Amino acid sequence: MTFKTLLLSFEPTAAIVTLNRPEKRNAISLELIEDLLRALDACERSAARAVILTGAGKAFCSGMDLEMLKAISTQSHDENLADSRKMAGLFRRLYEFPRPVIAAVNGPAIAGGCGMVSVCDLALAVPEAKFGYTEARVGFIPALVSVYLVRMVGERVARELLLAGRIYDAAEALRLGLVNEIVSADKLMARARELVQIFAESSPASLLAAKRLMTSMPLSDLNAALEQAVEENARIRTTADFREGLSSFLEKRKPKWSP
């Protein structure tokens, strides 16, 4: 199996998925979403007991690809809905993956990249890593990840993260519950492999049952929340604030928000 935007390798107990667009700071494109979904399918078919998700180069994932962001401004509502559902599908696949998924955050994880970290079971981060849901600063909304973030860190912390739109360092991310541990860069992957080995010593059936229990409570509410998030994610793209936010971002200036 070959991929254009990532690397997939297998070790005795671990599957390692490396986002591999270092020249784009591993930004999310439709192709990367499709590659990740195919890679996760391959991981599920393998004997790997857990998955390590990391990035090549200096960033984990910088969020949405610039070309994809530009294309959004010309898309119809139905096209925006389709895009939103693809991203929602990726988040849900990571969140519900039947084996543990560990994010080894080697650098900045911003917007959608921070979203991917948030839906993994565990997150390790280097001290230099940065985190943030910056969508509100460009007239967008982190709708899709909000469904999971409230579950992961609680509503109080989720409100701060989603509304402030600011960047947090690794120490703040640890305090807020976005990451589990801070690990030096030279030990990041070694620590991730240690965690995989811990999982490998547990019953596969027990881990599967535990994940299924945690991710399915209550499933009906999750389905409804995700559909609402998809709709809101598409709707915000039609607003004047989004158009102004996108223009200001591309032109590298401060946005002029409407009242």
Catalytic positions, written as ranges: 135
CA distance 151 to 148: 5
Task: Compute the chain's Rg from CA coordinates.
Answer: 18
Task: Encode 138-171: b = buried (16+ Cβ within 10 Å), e = exposed.
Answer: bbbbbbbbbbbbbbbbeeebbeebbeebeebbbe
CA distance 216 to 219: 5
Dihedrals phi, psi of 11, to nearest 5 degrees: -115, 175
Contact 6, 20 (CB under 8 A): yes
CA 257 to chain centre: 28
**Could you write out the DSSP letters of every residue in 96-125?**
H-SS-EEEEE-S-EETHHHHHHHTSSEEEE
